[in-house]
Structure 1
Amino acid sequence: MHTILCLETASTNCSVAIGREGEILGLKEDYSKNFSHAERLHIFIEEILKENNLTFKDLDAIAISEGPGSYTGLRIGVSAAKGLCYSLELPLIAVPTLTSLASQVKVDDETNNEFVIPMMDARRMEVYTAVYDAGGNQIEPVSAKILDENSYTSYLEKGKVHFIGSGVEKFEKICSHPNANFIREKLPSAKEMVKIAAMRYKNSDLEDVAYFVPYYLKDFIAG
C-alpha cells in the first residue's frame, strides 16, 4: 500500500493531507484569508504524521499542488516538497490546482448538461480558470481570463454551471444567468489531492524533482 503526503499552498489555505491508496487518513489546514504557509506548513506536516503514527520513512511519495495560484504560496509549497523528495529519496507528484478545486463539486448529471468552472482570483476582473464536464473531464485548458457579463454564456445556455473558488464573488456581481450556481468561500484543499495523487502514482505520472517548477501561468508582477 502506498502512502502519499499532499501539500496544498496555491491559495491562502495552507493545507496538508495524508492519503493511503487514495483514501484520506488525515487533514490539517488553516482555512483563512491570510497567508500562513511559511509559519505553518512544516508544523502541519510534522503534526499530521504524528497524529497518524507515521514517520517520514512510511511515505512513498510527496504530492504538491502545482498551480496556478499565489506566487509566494506556490514557491513555498514546491520548495518544501522538493526538499522532502531529495532528503527522503521519494518521487514527486504534481496535482493541477484547478482540477483539485473542481473536484470539490459533486455533479450527478446523466445527460452531461452540467459543468464545473473553478476560478482562482487574480488581478482586478481576472481569474485563473478552466472548464470541466459533469464527469470531471477537463474540456477547456487552464487560462487567465478577464471576466465580463458574457463570460461562459455558451456553457450557461447548455445547462447548470457550478462556479467555485476565490474568483467566484467578482463574477457573481456581473452574471445573473439562472443556470449559474455560485459556490462561495471555497479554496483548494489537500483533501481533494489525495485521490488524484494516488491515481498519478499508480500510473507512474511523476515529475523530475530537479527540474520541476510551479505552474505560475503568468509572469510575476511586484506590488
Structure 2
Amino acid sequence: MIKHDVSHFPTILVFNTTEKDKTSVALIKNGSVKISEKSRRAQELQSIVEELIDNNHIEIGEIKAVAVLEGPGSYTGIRIGATTGNTLHWLYRMPVIVIPGTDISEAAERLMSGEEFDVTTYFSPRD
C-alpha cells in the first residue's frame, strides 16, 4: 500500500473496534471532531454509526472516507471494523484508511494533521 495525506477529505468516519467491551466512532467534518464511545461490543457498530450520523444531521453520502484502527486488540473486533469499512467502500466507493493504534482521539488528530496513512480499497486484519 502507498501512504497518502488524507487531510483533504472533508468528512471522515473513524471506527475503533479494537477493545473488547467498548466501541468508538468519530466523525471528522471540516476540521471538527465528534466522538461517540459506547460500552458496547463491536457487533453494535452499525447502530453507533447511525446514531452519530443522525445526531450530526449528515447523510452517508457526505462521508468521503472511512478510517479503521487496526489495533493491537480484539481480533474479532478488528475484523468487524474492517468488514464495516470494506462494506462502506463497496457501497459508496469510500477509500479505507488504515490507522495503527487504539486511541480514536489520537487517530482523529493524526488524520487532520496531514500525516500520511495507508489508503486501500480492501482492508484485511491479517495483512
Scaled to the shorter chain, the TM-score interval is 0.7 to 0.9
Larger radius of gyration: 1
2:121 corresponds to which residue?
A: 209
* AA partner of residue 119 (structure 2): E
Whether the 8 Å CA contact 1:21–1:198 is kept in 2: the answer is no
Equivalent of 2:14 in 6, 18, 21: 6
User: Cα distance, 1:20 vs. partner?
Assistant: 2.1
Gaps of 5+ in 1: 98-187, 217-223
SS at match of 2:119: coil
Q: Measured at CA, do residues 61 and 199 of structure 1 come closer, stay the same or move farther in structure 2, by a change above 3 Å?
A: farther
Distance 2:92 2:118 in 1: 16
Is contact 2:99–2:118 with CA below 8 Å preserved after alignment? no
Deviation track 1:81-128 (CA, whole Å, cap 9, x = no partner) reads 11111111011111111xxxxxxxxxxxxxxxxxxxxxxxxxxxxxxx
Higher RCO (Cα < 8 Å, 6 or more apart)? 2
Alignment of 1:57-206 (within 5 A): 57-97=61-101, 188-199=102-113, 203=116, 205-206=117-118
In 2, distance between residues paired with 1:193 and 1:63? Answer: 9
Asked if the contact 1:63/1:81 (under 8 Å) is kept, the reply is: yes
Q: 2:103 and 2:48 mapped to 1: Cα distance? A: 14
Identity of aligned residues (%): 28
Displacement after TM superposition at 1:215 (Å): 5.8
Q: Decide whether the 8 Å contact of 1:64 with 1:81 is kept in 2.
A: yes
2:92 counterpart letter in structure 1: L
Contact 2:97 2:120 in 1 (8 A): no
Count of paired positions: 118
Residue 49 of structure 2 corresponds to 45
Distance change in 2, residues 1:215/1:20 (3 Å)? farther
1:22–1:195 contact (8 Å) kept in structure 2? no
